[in-house]
């Protein structure tokens, strides 16, 4: 489902569509780059800072080449909550929470603030202080955003782990961040089933003795096997302290959170975000891209465990005093009109989801959205992967009734917030299905060739950002070297995003997919090496190679090739065991769609696995140049294994 250049040529007239609003946007854009102090300083005044000294941006010689709001002080939870409490928004709904089974809660800004203060008081009693890390492993419950804000209120640093990850992922992230406090729940609910989160946590706790306290939200009344040792019920935590905590005002460059994301090695990268710049970026982008009005309802369907949820379910909406929906459940449960039924019931005006979900609904058919009145929808967003023009048009026609504005938003965990997107709240430029359109003010994006020179119009190249922007991550937690190497070495002085892109005659950006060995599975980012490491950690596996295969709905799915250790023989049982092993160690999103047993993996003379060859075999493309193969017979072998399996599956 990668957008290929040929497909683009059909929908994309490579001639200009210049429009007056593009001119205005370009003026604003130029101003933001030339006078960041003036431009961002003015927007920063819409938020609360306890101190403002020094410049908005101080350029530096080393990556990321700038520090934002270094001498300024603020607290992001104060800006999300307290700032609204002296206004009429105090009694406005912050979240409508709903579960699959229909359980629901309405939480106002005042109520959220009370919850956050109570959690923060409890955490303070547990010894949490400025700069400490607190890991949060919760499903989509109101206690999740409340815990994040409570941690931020203390000037501590949260590390939220997606509740779909399992024990090894949890251990790796706890060890890396050295969190002494973990907040979790006994269970999560999905598709009518219970997922035992605390069980996964207890397994991880066996290998993380430095974790001193485990706060457990008991939804089913059980605390797990670790009970009595480190466990504290969430309800008890809420009554431990004084119930109110003064916010800790921290420097703009103080880390607000770590969010682990996949890279090209087995070790996840702890993208570390600032407080001041990140706050400004989520506030500003939420406002100009989604333009949610006070009387409106906004729904971002992501999970808070990913960056989209951090920035556009928690920080962006709350900083803007928006009313959001928080939904714990699957999009098609109990049937494929679940989301549309909710859109109608809440009168959702602005809706933000992923291309994978859109393609899934395309497959279900338009009869499902047709069952409901979706006329409240004004803006439709997409994020996480390239949206193919066909899905864009379906979304526009069947969810947006041909009238909603589509905002295709390109950004990454590392960028903190939206970077390239249409902006209905500033100057809406003409939309082109499949293009994220133009960089927003503050973003100096370019498509460059292998040498770092601007690529020609219509020519595929690499996406880079040429100067610092407020939302940028500051480093990778505990690994400044990796931060510099991964992002700032390929093109000195520029941020390398790791995506292929192409620019058209109007300067519109078309993002074509990842340029590295990171997969996008249903919009989720997962490193092939992480899956390989998981497979190799099984005693029966000697070697493995994982690649991504294009998929009609999920964009990509992992496919694994495995070489067994002597004494093991391929079997259906072993295949299931290995798939289950990946599920248990990383999580369901990493489980290969197919797993093939082979005798050898195709390798170069220097021993590097030739993924290109495996990819070609899987996608039945010509293999191309294989002269550097160590042993060409292994290509035939991989092909034979694949064909055999395909035949076996057919029969
Ligand atoms: O490949 C790009 C793709 O998602 C990657 C970032 O993934 P992650 O850090 O998990 O963040 C996802 C949510 C922001 C990018 O490198 N991507 C994200 N948005 C788009 C996109 N590709 C094309 N178009 C988009 N709108």
pLDDT digits (tens, 9 = 90+) for 265-279: 989 999 999 999 999
Atom of ligand 1 nearest to the CA of 511: 23
The whole-angstrom separation of Cα 590 and Cα 579 is: 9
Rounded to 10°, the helix 36-44/20-34 angle is 100
528: pLDDT strictly greater than 80: yes
- Give the global pTM: 0.94
pLDDT bucket at 3, cuts 50 / 70 / 90: very low
Token pair 């060890």: residue: 175
Q: If you search the block for the tokens 């248990």, which residue do you land on? A: 584
Pair 73, 251: CB distance under 8 Å: yes
Q: pLDDT-derived band of residue 10, with 50, 70 and 90 as boundaries?
A: very low
Give the β-pairing of 269-273 and 475-476: antiparallel
Q: Is 625's pLDDT higher than 60?
A: no
- Tell me: pLDDT of 649 over 90: no
Handedness of CA 333, 339, 343, 349 (dihedral sign): positive
Decide if pLDDT at 58 tops 60.
yes
Residues with CB under 6 A from ligand 1: 261, 307-308, 383-386, 408-413, 436, 497-499, 511, 514, 520, 525
Residue with tokens 């250790």: 565
Q: What's the rounded Cα separation, in Å, for the pair 379 and 226?
A: 46
Which tokens sit at 197?
Answer: 């989160």
pLDDT at 644: 62
Closest by CA to 366, choosing from 406, 342, 343, 396, is 396
CA of 384 to the centre of ligand 1 (A): 4
Residue 612 has pLDDT above 80, yes or no: no
What is the CA(511)–ligand 1 centre distance, in A? 9
**Looking at ligand 1, which residue's alpha carbon is closest to its atom 12?**
384
- Assess whether pLDDT exceeds 60 at residue 8: no
Residue owning the nearest CA to atom 18 of ligand 1: 384
Structural domains of the chain, ranges and CATH numbers in brackets: 3-115+249-502 (3.40.50.12780), 518-650 (3.30.300.30)
Segment 627-641, tens digit of pLDDT: 555 556 667 766 666
pLDDT of residue 151: 99
Q: What is the pLDDT of residue 103?
A: 94
Strand-pair partners of 134 = 158, 181
Residue 2: pLDDT over 50: no
**How many CB atoms lie under 10 A from the CB of residue 241?**
18
Which tens digit of pLDDT belongs to each residue from 240-299? 989 999 999 999 999 999 999 999 898 999 999 999 999 999 999 999 999 999 999 999
Provide the pairing of β-strand 323-328 with 379-382. Answer: unpaired
Q: Is 174 exposed, middle or buried (0-12, 13-18, 19+ CB in 10 A)?
A: buried
Quickly state the pLDDT bin for 651 (edges 50, 70, 90).
very low
Paired residues of 410 in beta bridges: 420
Residue 427, pLDDT > 90, answer: no
Residue 518 CA: which ligand 1 atom is closest?
1
pLDDT at 496 over 50: yes
Nearest CA owner, ligand 1 atom 15:
412
Contacts of 571 (CB under 8 A, 6+ apart): none
The reported pLDDT for the residue numbered 18 is 53
Q: Mind listing the pLDDT tens digit for each residue in 148-203?
A: 999 999 999 999 999 999 989 999 999 999 999 999 999 999 999 999 999 999 99
Q: What pLDDT, on the 0 to 100 scale, is given for residue 225?
A: 59
Query: What is the rounded CA–CA span in Å between residue 17 and residue 507?
Result: 10
In angstroms, the CA 260 to CA 609 distance is 26
Both tokens of 467, joined, read: 């100067």
- Ligand 1 centroid from CA 375, angstroms: 28
Cα–Cα nearest to 211, from 182, 184, 232, 231 = 182
Burial 268-289 (b: 16+ CB within 10 A, else e): bbbbbbbbbbbbbbbbbbbbbb
Decide if pLDDT at 227 tops 70: no
Q: Phi and psi at residue 448, in whole multiples of 5°? A: -120, 160
Query: If you search the block for the tokens 């598709």, which residue do you land on?
Result: 191
Confidence tier at 478 by pLDDT (50, 70, 90): very high
In this predicted structure, the answer to whether residue 139 has a pLDDT above a threshold of 90 is: yes
Q: Whose CA is nearest to atom 26 of ligand 1?
A: 410
Q: Which band of pLDDT confidence, cut at 50, 70 and 90, is reported for residue 19?
A: low
Helices (H) and strands (E) in the chain, counts: 22, 31
- Whether residue 12 has pLDDT greater than 50: no
Please give the pLDDT value at position 221: 75
């Amino acid at each position: 489902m990668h957008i290929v250049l040929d497909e683009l040529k059909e929908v994309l007239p490579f001639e200009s569509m210049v429009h007056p609003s593009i001119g205005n946007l370009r003026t604003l854009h130029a101003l933001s780059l030339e006078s960041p102090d003036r431009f961002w300083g003015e927007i920063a005044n819409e938020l609360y800072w306890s101190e403002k000294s020094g410049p908005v941006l101080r350029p530096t010689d080393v990556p990321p080449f700038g520090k934002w709001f270094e001498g300024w002080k603020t607290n992001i939870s104060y800006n999300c909550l307290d700032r609204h409490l002296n206004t009429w928004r105090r009694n406005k709904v912050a979240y409508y929470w709903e579960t699959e089974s229909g359980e629901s809660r309405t939480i106002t800004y005042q109520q959220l603030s009370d919850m956050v203060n109570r959690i923060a008081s409890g955490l303070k009693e547990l010894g949490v202080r400025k700069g400490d890390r607190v890991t949060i492993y919760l499903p989509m419950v109101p206690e999740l955003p409340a815990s994040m804000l409570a941690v931020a209120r203390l000037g501590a640093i949260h590390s939220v782990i997606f509740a779909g990850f399992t024990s090894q992922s949890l251990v790796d992230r706890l060890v890396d961040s050295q969190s002494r406090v973990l907040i979790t729940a006994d269970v999560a609910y999905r598709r009518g089933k219970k997922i035992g989160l605390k069980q996964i946590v207890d397994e991880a706790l066996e290998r993380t003795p430095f974790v001193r306290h485990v706060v457990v939200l008991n939804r089913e009344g059980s605390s797990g096997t670790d009970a009595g040792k480190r466990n504290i019920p969430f309800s008890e935590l809420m009554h431990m302290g004084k119930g109110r905590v003064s916010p800790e005002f921290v420097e703009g460059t103080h880390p607000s959170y770590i969010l682990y994301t996949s890279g090209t090695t087995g070790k996840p990268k702890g993208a570390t975000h600032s407080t001041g710049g990140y706050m400004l970026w989520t506030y500003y982008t939420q406002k100009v891209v989604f333009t949610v009005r006070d009387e409106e309802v906004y729904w971002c369907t992501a999970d808070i465990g990913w960056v989209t949820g951090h920035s556009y379910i928690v920080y962006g909406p709350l900083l803007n005093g928006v009313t959001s929906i928080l939904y714990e459940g699957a999009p098609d449960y109990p049937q494929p009109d679940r989301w549309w039924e909710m859109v109608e019931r809440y009168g959702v005006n602005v809706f933000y989801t992923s291309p994978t979900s859109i393609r899934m609904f395309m497959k279900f058919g338009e009869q499902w959205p047709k069952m409901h009145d979706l006329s409240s929808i004004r803006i439709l967003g997409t994020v996480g992967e390239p949206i193919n023009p066909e899905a864009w048009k379906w979304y526009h026609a069947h969810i947006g009734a041909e009238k909603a504005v589509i905002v295709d938003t390109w950004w990454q965990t590392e960028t903190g917030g939206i970077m390239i997107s249409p902006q209905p709240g500033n100057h809406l430029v003409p939309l082109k299905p499949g293009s994220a359109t133009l960089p927003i003010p503050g973003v100096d994006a370019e498509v460059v060739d292998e040498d770092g020179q601007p690529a020609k119009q219509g020519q595929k190249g690499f996406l880079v950002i040429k100067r610092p922007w407020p939302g940028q991550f500051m480093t990778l937690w505990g690994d400044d070297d990796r931060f510099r190497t991964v992002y700032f070495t390929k093109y000195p002085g520029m941020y390398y995003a790791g995506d292929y892109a192409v620019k058209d005659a109007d300067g519109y950006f078309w993002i074509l997919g990842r340029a590295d060995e990171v997969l996008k599975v249903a919009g989720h980012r997962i490193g092939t090496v992480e899956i390989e490491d998981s497979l190799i950690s099984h005693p029966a596996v000697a070697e493995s190679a994982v690649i991504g295969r294009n998929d009609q709905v999920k964009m990509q799915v992992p496919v694994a090739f495995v070489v067994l250790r002597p004494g093991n023989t391929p079997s259906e049982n072993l295949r299931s065991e290995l798939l289950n092993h990946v599920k248990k160690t990383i999580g369901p999103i990493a489980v290969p769609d197919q797993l093939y047993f082979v005798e050898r993996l195709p390798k170069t003379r220097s021993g590097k696995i030739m993924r290109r060859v495996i990819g070609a075999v899987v996608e039945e493309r010509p293999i191309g140049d294989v002269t550097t193969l160590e042993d060409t017979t292994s290509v035939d072998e991989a092909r034979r294994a694949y064909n055999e399996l395909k035949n076996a599956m057919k029969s």
